[in-house]
A and B are shown apart, each in its own frame.
Chain A
């Protein structure tokens, strides 16, 4: 029984021993985040003169530098941080609820749902802005509802839901490939670029859309986390403690899907961010996944990847998804080894 196992690991370490590492890890992660953001602004291949950057940040108008900074680099950073935080929260909520570090939304098909809906909206309906966000959200929720319904009968959580998600994900992947063959080469190239995940199309408008949408959903997070802790005790125990299990589960899935699907519409499904944020957090604190810390970890992953993407190669700026994909692969194997050697890999 997977939920029971999670409950054990969550309850085992003494609270006081766990709280300090969380704060310390948060400080370290915040430092890394600031460093990577500063490096992206000040250093790197197309370094901007530091004096001018400070002038711009101080509110003066500096032609050239001001434009690059305000219209390109800062929106990218903000969108990257917001998207990373959203992915991190989404992934870690699923991982904790299902008690399985491999059960992140990108593996169990929900990411593919959001991606498929966005591609349809992009290629066939010509939507932009809020429309794409809503499409991604609808796609993610649709797939979540489908696998939830398909895995019904007895216990809904755990392996059955994961397997249903794998199958739906594989099917949607084929559908995405099919849609790509139906499009013109240029549209297909755009779609592939989006599928890989990139911060290049970031604007202030998109950053605002993200901030407002994630903020609205995030307002529910404290409630969801409180209910999640009860759910982790096992559904019977949670019900005995007065939790309405059905609606708590529904709210959890809703928030987790929204947190992952809203950024997908802007940045594309950044490979592995949702998958890795939780396990990295757990390894840092040597305890259960802390949702807030996972959000910070997600933001750090995207910001660092963004710096690397811009500066790794002399004459080629890669989309950030290529970096998270390439550097994520060894981490993926590490997560698999770790999950399986602890006996919660499935």
Chain B
């Protein structure tokens, strides 16, 4: 059975069935959270986990391990949700199945802005880092769309992807240059630049939460426009949507989501690409289901990638950004080969 067929079958699933599938996703998410707390270089027995959560004892090494894993689990929830939904928003608003914060260069823009800020200003607060990440992502997003929409055929998926990738190459070269000139930023950012959940504490992730929630709200509000856009820009306009204004509004949400995720966890690519496609197979192409589904599925992927990265090579670990890229690139190629989503290449 091809992927398109299963998407079509998902279209026919009733609202109740889709609700059931969402509940299934939530159960899966819960399992992933438990796995993230239990597994790693050292496996914690389930009883000890419950104990650590209910009556925490700082002297107990198992409790300390659980405690340290809570931070990255919270991080995976926040960052995964942000990346998953930002991908769905981008793919919807631009009818571009290859849209992703990594491929379109948004992550590279955020990274350069953050690394540049630290090289210039030394130790900076999380707030200003996030602001820099937003500005970096927003500027690149604007630039990529402007550049790709030049020409007769407008901003086609492949033009967007190429413009994004070319800009990302340049931005990464500049980031490397900054890191080379400033050794302090190298020491801090070579870990951040991979995309890792291990570097920060719970408070950082929670501090990013309000902006992620705001971005989530904005992107969810664009679900109906995205449905209309999927029938073509002309149809969407005929249905009474002001596309220019809605795209600007949606972009604000997308930049908030992608920028926050990059600011706290570093650039993590391919999550925004993989999640909407996976959810589309399950729940169909209706963005009113696809977007909430991506919100749940994003953290599942990130938690799974993080746990896998911890378990593969103990006591060291492979950062979640590397895992996502290694999983995501093959999927990107499969999408391209099968024309899974009706994109003509």
The yes or no answer to B134 lying at the interface (CB within 8 A) is no
For A189, give its contact among B151, B183, B319, B330 (CB under 8 Å): B183
The yes or no answer to A215 lying at the interface (CB within 8 A) is no
- Select from chain A the residue with minimum beta-carbon distance to B325: A174
For A160, give its contact among B98, B153, B193, B337 (CB under 8 Å): B337
- B residues within 8 A CB of A160? 336-337, 345
For A325, give its contact among B153, B173, B194 (CB under 8 Å): B173
Q: In whole angstroms, how far apart are the Cα atoms of A189 and B182 in the complex?
A: 10
Contact with B along A320-338 (1 / 0, CB 8 A): 0110111011001101110
Report the count of interface residues on B (CB-CB < 8 A). 55
- Select from chain B the residue with minimum beta-carbon distance to A112: B169
The yes or no answer to A167 lying at the interface (CB within 8 A) is yes
Contact with A along B147-178 (1 / 0, CB 8 A): 11011110010110111011101101110110
- A residues within 8 A CB of B270? 170
Contact status B336-A345, CB under 8 Å: no
The yes or no answer to A292 lying at the interface (CB within 8 A) is no
The yes or no answer to B191 lying at the interface (CB within 8 A) is yes
Please report which residues of chain A, range 74-118, place their CB below 8 angstroms from some CB of chain B when the two chains form the complex.
100, 102-103, 106-107
Q: In whole angstroms, how far apart are the Cα atoms of A341 and B151 in the complex?
A: 4
For B194, give its contact among A102, A153, A174, A193 (CB under 8 Å): A174
Contact status A153-B176, CB under 8 Å: no
Given A163-B332, A178-B318: A340 in contact with B159 (beta carbons within 8 A): yes
Contact status A159-B163, CB under 8 Å: no
What's the minimum C-beta distance from B330 to chain A, rounded to whole angstroms? 8
Contact status A346-B156, CB under 8 Å: yes
Q: In whole angstroms, how far apart are the Cα atoms of A74 and B330 in the complex?
A: 45
Q: In whole angstroms, how far apart are the Cα atoms of A153 and B332 in the complex?
A: 16
Contact status B162-A166, CB under 8 Å: yes
For B103, give its contact among A164, A166, A193, A345 (CB under 8 Å): A166
Q: In whole angstroms, how far apart are the Cα atoms of A53 and B151 in the complex?
A: 52
For B161, give its contact among A163, A173, A336 (CB under 8 Å): A163
What's the minimum C-beta distance from A206 to chain B, rounded to whole angstroms? 21
Given A159-B345, A181-B190, A328-B170: A322 in contact with B177 (beta carbons within 8 A): yes
Contact status A346-B158, CB under 8 Å: yes
Q: In whole angstroms, how far apart are the Cα atoms of A153 and B172 in the complex?
A: 32
Report the count of interface residues on A (CB-CB < 8 A). 58
Contact with B along A194-219 (1 / 0, CB 8 A): 01100000000000000000000000
What's the minimum C-beta distance from A267 to chain B, rounded to whole angstroms? 13
Contact status B161-A346, CB under 8 Å: yes
**Number of interchain pairs (Cβ within 8 Å):** 174
Contact status A181-B319, CB under 8 Å: yes
Q: In whole angstroms, how far apart are the Cα atoms of A195 and B180 in the complex?
A: 10
Contact status B161-A166, CB under 8 Å: yes
What's the minimum C-beta distance from B155 to chain A, rounded to whole angstroms? 9
- B residues within 8 A CB of A170? 102-103, 165, 269-270, 325, 328-329, 332
The yes or no answer to B5 lying at the interface (CB within 8 A) is no
Q: In whole angstroms, how far apart are the Cα atoms of A173 and B318 in the complex?
A: 14
Most buried by A among B143, B166, B333: B166
Contact status B187-A185, CB under 8 Å: yes
The yes or no answer to A289 lying at the interface (CB within 8 A) is no
Given A150-B333, A177-B321, A346-B156: A337 in contact with B161 (beta carbons within 8 A): no
The yes or no answer to B322 lying at the interface (CB within 8 A) is yes
Given A177-B190, A178-B319: A153 in contact with B159 (beta carbons within 8 A): no
Please report which residues of chain A, range 161-186, place their CB below 8 angstroms from some CB of chain B when the two chains form the complex.
162-164, 166-171, 173-175, 177-178, 180-182, 185
Contact status A180-B190, CB under 8 Å: yes
For B151, give its contact among A166, A169, A340 (CB under 8 Å): A340
- A residues within 8 A CB of B191? 181
Contact status A340-B166, CB under 8 Å: no
Q: In whole angstroms, how far apart are the Cα atoms of A189 and B163 in the complex?
A: 29
For A162, give its contact among B151, B158, B170, B337 (CB under 8 Å): B158
The yes or no answer to A343 lying at the interface (CB within 8 A) is yes
The yes or no answer to A319 lying at the interface (CB within 8 A) is yes
Most buried by A among B158, B169, B318: B169
The yes or no answer to B83 lying at the interface (CB within 8 A) is no
Contact status A169-B180, CB under 8 Å: no
Contact status A326-B177, CB under 8 Å: yes
- B residues within 8 A CB of A324? 173
- B residues within 8 A CB of A341? 150-151
Q: In whole angstroms, how far apart are the Cα atoms of A47 and B153 in the complex?
A: 53
Contact status A188-B325, CB under 8 Å: no
- Select from chain A the residue with minimum beta-carbon distance to B102: A170
For A178, give its contact among B148, B181, B322 (CB under 8 Å): B322
Q: In whole angstroms, how far apart are the Cα atoms of A107 and B187 in the complex?
A: 27
Most buried by A among B147, B148, B156, B187: B147
For B321, give its contact among A106, A174, A185, A271 (CB under 8 Å): A174
Contact status A174-B166, CB under 8 Å: no
- B residues within 8 A CB of A307? none
Given A192-B179, A272-B170: A168 in contact with B337 (beta carbons within 8 A): no
B residues neighboring A (CB under 8 Å): 98, 102-103, 143, 147-148, 150-153, 156, 158-159, 161-163, 165-167, 169-170, 172-174, 176-177, 179-181, 183, 186-187, 190-191, 193-195, 269-270, 316, 318-319, 321-322, 324-326, 328-330, 332-333, 336-337, 345
Known: A166-B165, A271-B170. 8 other contacts (CB 8 A): A166-B332, A167-B328, A174-B324, A192-B176, A318-B177, A336-B148, A340-B163, A346-B162
8 nearest A-B pairs in the assembled complex, by CB-CB distance: A174-B325, A271-B173, A325-B173, A171-B329, A346-B158, A167-B332, A340-B150, A340-B151
24 A-B residue pairs with Cβ-Cβ distance under 8 Å, sorted by A, are A102-B163, A102-B166, A150-B333, A163-B98, A163-B336, A166-B332, A167-B336, A171-B325, A173-B325, A174-B194, A174-B321, A177-B322, A181-B190, A188-B190, A192-B180, A271-B169, A275-B166, A318-B181, A321-B173, A322-B177, A325-B174, A326-B177, A337-B150, A345-B151
